[in-house]
């Protein structure tokens, strides 16, 4: 685990939102969040492959919410 410097601790204390940090070599951005928040988020996240049932449910949801009228032939509309 990396321990923060006093300047970094002060920056965290001044920020109300999660602190954004930048990797100096890669310029990749990171967000520091409290471990408790990270663990709660991870506990609720499922990155396993979708099941056939989940795929079908998403397809039906899309079909039911889509404006199918936009696909009608304009000549057929009254």
**Given pLDDT bands bounded at 50, 70 and 90, which one contains residue 67?**
low
pLDDT at site 74? 60
User: Domain boundaries in the chain?
Assistant: 15-63
Q: Which residues contact 22 (CB under 8 A, 6 or more apart)?
A: 28, 29, 30
Q: Which long-range contacts (CB under 8 A, 24 or more apart) does 21-25 make?
A: none
Q: Which residue has the higher pLDDT, 78 or 8?
A: 8
Give the pLDDT score at 28. Answer: 96
Which run of H or of E encompasses 13? Answer: helix 6-14
For residue 78, the model assigns a pLDDT of 53
pLDDT digit string, tens, across residues 31-65: 988 899 889 988 888 888 999 999 999 888 877 76
Work out the average pLDDT over 16-40. Answer: 91
**Please, what is the Cα angle at 30 between 25 and 31, to 5 degrees?**
155
The model's confidence at residue 3, banded by pLDDT at 50, 70 and 90, is very high
CA distance 4 to 12: 10
CA gap 34, 47 in Å, rounded: 22
């Amino acid at each position: 685990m990396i321990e923060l410097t006093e300047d970094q601790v002060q920056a965290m204390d001044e920020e109300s939102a999660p602190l954004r940090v930048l990797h100096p070599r890669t310029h990749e951005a990171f967000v520091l969040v409290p471990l408790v928040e990270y663990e709660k988020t991870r506990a609720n996240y499922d990155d396993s492959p979708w099941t056939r049932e989940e795929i079908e449910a998403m397809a039906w949801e899309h079909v039911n919410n889509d404006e199918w009228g936009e696909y009608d032939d304009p000549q057929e509309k009254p």
